[in-house]
């Protein structure tokens, strides 16, 4: 029992660390709307590639822009991409998944084959394809990452909705004369919400990584909008003169993803303690 107790404390600590990191990220993004040490778009060539100083806490980049300001404003892009891409995934994926679980038959088969097809195109491949047609940009990358999220949520929703629909309380609701869609909205959806929330934190982290990769390749966020991926792209050209520039944005991405993953793990344990016992 002692082991189980320490495991619960360990899991709670993970959740607290994750939630703290995510809160910090959201706080930074909100702060950027009212305050940054310097404007992230102001160029100051005479003071380029400065090491950390009291005036510029993390120094300046190759165009003299303040690194702290770029990092703070860059968090906005990460949050926006995560929110919208996961929003697209939930909006379409949950709807399609529920439809498959309720209708069964050929509708379910069609949904699952669609999910299989979309799974063959990871976010990066979809983004490359869309970029080739529409040109690079933040919207294109958000749409591509969002499209990749749709089958993820569709599969999870269908599988968990099928389990919930086989429970007694659904049978009771049906006996009371409720329609299939009433049962789905009033009973199935609330019972699978916890699972979807946990998956949303995981997909949020994946979206941030995908956007960073796309921006690093020059296919995502375009200048002058600051983004962590772009900062890494620009830093690579200065690797010999200012290696520290390649450290900060990567740490920001890693801490954000770590925070989301820890929070997702913690949420899963809080919302479904049976899973923790199995680990």
The residues in 119-148 that bind other proteins, with binding defined as CB under 8 A, are 119-122, 124-125, 128-129, 131-133, 136
Separation CA 69–CA 56 (nearest Å) = 9
49 binds other proteins (CB under 8 A): no
Q: Which is nearer to other proteins, 173 or 206 (CB)?
A: 206
Q: Which is nearer to other proteins, 42 or 272 (CB)?
A: 272
Separation CA 227–CA 217 (nearest Å) = 12
Separation CA 166–CA 212 (nearest Å) = 41
> What 3-state class would DSSP assign to 276?
helix
The residues in 206-225 that bind other proteins, with binding defined as CB under 8 A, are 209, 212-213, 216-217, 219
Q: Binding other proteins by CB under 8 A: which of 232, 242, 263, 267? A: 232
> What 3-state class would DSSP assign to 177?
coil
Separation CA 218–CA 225 (nearest Å) = 12
Piece of the chain touching other proteins by CB under 8 A; list 38-46, 138-146, 180-188, 253-261: 253-261
Q: Which is nearer to other proteins, 183 or 200 (CB)?
A: 200
Q: Which is nearer to other proteins, 200 or 253 (CB)?
A: 253
113 CB neighbour count, 10 Å cutoff: 10
> What 3-state class would DSSP assign to 61?
coil
> For residue 14, which of 260, 209, 204, 273 has the smallest C-alpha distance?
260
> For residue 201, which of 123, 270, 272, 268 has the smallest C-alpha distance?
268
Q: Which is nearer to other proteins, 274 or 279 (CB)?
A: 279
246 binds other proteins (CB under 8 A): yes
CA 272 to mean position of chain CA atoms = 21
Q: Binding other proteins by CB under 8 A: which of 207, 262, 263, 267? A: 262
274 binds other proteins (CB under 8 A): no
Residues at the site binding other proteins, with contacts judged by CB under 8 A:
3, 119-122, 124-125, 128-129, 131-133, 136, 205, 209, 212-213, 216-217, 219, 232, 235-236, 239-240, 243, 246-247, 249-250, 253-255, 257-258, 261-262, 278-279
């Amino acid at each position: 029992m002692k082991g189980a107790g320490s495991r619960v404390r360990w899991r709670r600590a993970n959740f607290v660390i994750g939630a703290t990191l995510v809160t910090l990220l959201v706080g930074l993004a909100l702060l950027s709307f009212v305050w940054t040490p310097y404007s992230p778009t102001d160029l100051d060539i005479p003071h380029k590639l400065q090491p950390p100083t009291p005036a510029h806490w993390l120094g300046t980049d190759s165009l003299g822009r303040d690194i702290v300001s770029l990092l703070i404003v860059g968090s906005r892009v990460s949050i926006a991409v995560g929110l919208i891409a996961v929003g697209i995934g939930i909006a379409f994926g949950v709807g399609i998944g529920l439809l498959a679980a309720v209708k069964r038959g050929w509708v379910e088969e069609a949904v699952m084959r669609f999910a299989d097809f979309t799974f063959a195109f990871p976010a990066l491949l979809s983004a490359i394809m869309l970029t080739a047609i529409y040109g690079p940009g933040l919207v294109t990358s958000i749409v591509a990452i969002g499209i990749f999220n749709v089958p993820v949520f569709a599969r999870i929703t269908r599988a968990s909705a099928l389990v919930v629909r086989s429970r007694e309380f659904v049978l009771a609701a049906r006996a009371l004369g409720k329609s299939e869609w009433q049962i789905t909205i009033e009973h199935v959806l609330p019972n699978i919400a916890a699972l979807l929330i946990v998956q949303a934190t995981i997909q949020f982290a994946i979206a941030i990584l995908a956007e960073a990769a796309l921006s690093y390749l020059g296919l995502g966020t375009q200048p002058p909008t600051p983004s962590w991926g772009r900062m890494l792209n620009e830093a690579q050209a200065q690797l010999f003169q200012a290696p520290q520039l390649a450290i900060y944005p990567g740490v920001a991405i890693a801490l954000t993803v770590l925070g989301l993953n820890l929070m997702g793990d913690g949420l899963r344990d809080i919302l479904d303690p049976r899973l923790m016992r199995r680990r």
